[in-house]
Amino acid sequence: MVNSKLAELVNDDANKVSSFHFDAQFDNQSKNNISSSKKHTKSKKSRQEKVQVPKTNRRGDIKTNRKGEVKYKTRIKKFSKNGEELFDVYGAQKFGLPRGKKALIAILAILLSALIIAGILITRFLSRVETNLNGGVVTGSISDVLTKSVPLKADKWGRTNIVIFGTSEDDDGHGGASLADTIMVLSIDQATGGANTISIPRDLSYYDKEVAKSSIGCDQGSRWKINAAYDCGTQINNGDERQGSLHMAKVISDVLGIDIQYYVKAKWGALIGIVNAIGGIDVVPYTDSPYGLYDVNQSLILGTGQVHLDGDGALRLSRARNSDGGYGLSRSNFDRELNQQRVVQAIRDKATSSGVLFDPQHIMDITEIIGTNVLTNIYTYEIRSLAAALGKMTKAVSVPLQGPNDAGEEINLVINGVSTYAPGLGSVVLPAEGEYEYENIHEYIAGILSGKKPKEPSNSTTPPSTSTDESDPATSQ
């Protein structure tokens, strides 16, 4: 038995080495094993012995020097309290795996345990996120965010267009809480990351054929300011907020002449919560005064240049329009729209640049805020594509329908900042080419989003006539 083990240890190239040393060594080892086993059967103490064993490389080949002599190393031979041999002369456990393999298995076991724990935590995290978003914020399972990635819908120019509008439904003291205070479209070129924001005047006059044909009808009738589109859409669909939001998207699509694939409806609480969750925003407010901005209604005073705002400050800036006095916003709603665009851009910049979206606690806080304040038709399996598009998105270029654009050009696609009286509607904003006429707006927007030079808009400041007839203007004119 000893000789056979020796044959395995020493290859043919090491035959020059005297075998007497090995025979003697292993014979002594065998004798020691026998005597030690007898000797220690009654002993309760474990013992160990030093033995010389051949050195081997990683492949298990015995190492020799230049003379062909086997190289040795000292190993400890251990016995249990009962005298049982625990390790053989190679330092491996007699009844187990080599030390290296056992260490590897231990590491794998630790990694497996870590993966199981991580899986449990991720499952709980996703479950809580899904609970936060439960109630129809998004459609689909939250697990789709990790397992699926479906491209966003796009128009003929490869752009994804999202109408974003805000209501004051979470403000009990606010009159007309279901009317949209803010209406804008975010248009993203998925190929280049180029983006535009288009603000729609909330007082823009609109005739709604779908509401006119509905047997249910709307409290505001079928001729109203465009900020009533969501409310009327909800009413004619038996209180369905999703259908009301889709109706808003259809109306904005009709006014701008572009496909609107998605909507995001947000209560004001979403703005406050999200801005606070990301640690505030840095924004340069728009003002036409060298002294900065002052709004009496919002109790807001800001200087010129960049300011840091928390959630409450961001909301005040988004609402400010000098309606009850102040300075810096001489064009009222039109200036407010510019600041709303800047707030949205500032939120995007902060969220994507500070690692907020990679912090689980921030994600949890944001999803909890979104869960109670936001409604959208974006599916969970589209969220990864949306995140990629927003990550690639460059600074959004403002496309106002009235006033200066980012290049300093004056745009007058609607009446030059003057609200025109219409019977039954109070003050409204009208297209420059005539009431319910949006062709110039279509051509201008198409020129920008398609990458072609937009048609020069009309600069007419003469208020077009308005109709008091509730019938279809297309047939009455």
- How many CB atoms neighbour CB 172 within 10 A? 7
Question: Of 345 and 467, which is predicted with more confidence?
Answer: 345
Task: Please tell me whether residues 165 and 266 are part of one structural domain.
Answer: yes
Task: Please tell me whether residues 153 and 242 are part of one structural domain.
Answer: yes
Report how far apart, in Å, the C-alpha atoms of 116 and of each of 104, 110, 224, 361, 397 are.
Answer: 18, 10, 58, 21, 46
**At what angle are helices 333-353 and 311-319 packed, to 10 degrees?**
150
Compute the average pLDDT of residues 333-352: 86
Is 408 within the bounds of a domain? yes
Q: What's the pLDDT band for 273 if we cut at 50, 70, 90?
A: confident
Is 79 within the bounds of a domain? yes
Is 458 within the bounds of a domain? yes
Task: Please tell me whether residues 118 and 176 are part of one structural domain.
Answer: no
Strands (E), 55-117: 72-79
Q: What is the pLDDT of residues 130-180, one digit of tens each?
A: 555 555 566 666 666 667 778 999 999 999 999 999 888 766 665 577 888
Q: What is the pLDDT of residues 19-78, one digit of tens each?
A: 434 444 444 444 444 444 444 444 455 566 777 777 777 666 778 888 888 787 777 666
Full domain range(s) for residue 115: 97-133
Task: Please tell me whether residues 254 and 388 are part of one structural domain.
Answer: yes
End-to-end CA distance of the chain: 113
pLDDT of amino acid 314: 92
DSSP 472: -
Is 50 within the bounds of a domain? yes
Closest to 46 (Cα-Cα) out of 94, 78, 89, 88: 78
Asked which of 88, 112, 133 is the last residue of a domain, the reply is 133
Domain count, the chain: 3
Element (H, E) at 309: strand 307-309
Task: Please tell me whether residues 73 and 193 are part of one structural domain.
Answer: no
Task: Please tell me whether residues 86 and 232 are part of one structural domain.
Answer: no
Task: Decide: pTM greater than 0.75.
Answer: no
Task: Please tell me whether residues 257 and 406 are part of one structural domain.
Answer: yes
- The answer to whether the CB of 396 falls within 8 A of the CB of 196 is yes
Ranking 47-61, 131-145, 345-359, 377-391 by mean pLDDT, the lowest is 131-145
Task: Please tell me whether residues 274 and 380 are part of one structural domain.
Answer: yes
Task: Please tell me whether residues 246 and 376 are part of one structural domain.
Answer: yes
Q: What's the pLDDT band for 460 if we cut at 50, 70, 90?
A: very low
Structure tokens at 262: 């998605």
Task: Please tell me whether residues 267 and 372 are part of one structural domain.
Answer: yes
Task: Please tell me whether residues 395 and 447 are part of one structural domain.
Answer: yes
Could you tell me if residue 168 is left (phi over 0), alpha (psi between -120 and 50 degrees) or otherwise beta? alpha
Task: Please tell me whether residues 84 and 103 are part of one structural domain.
Answer: no
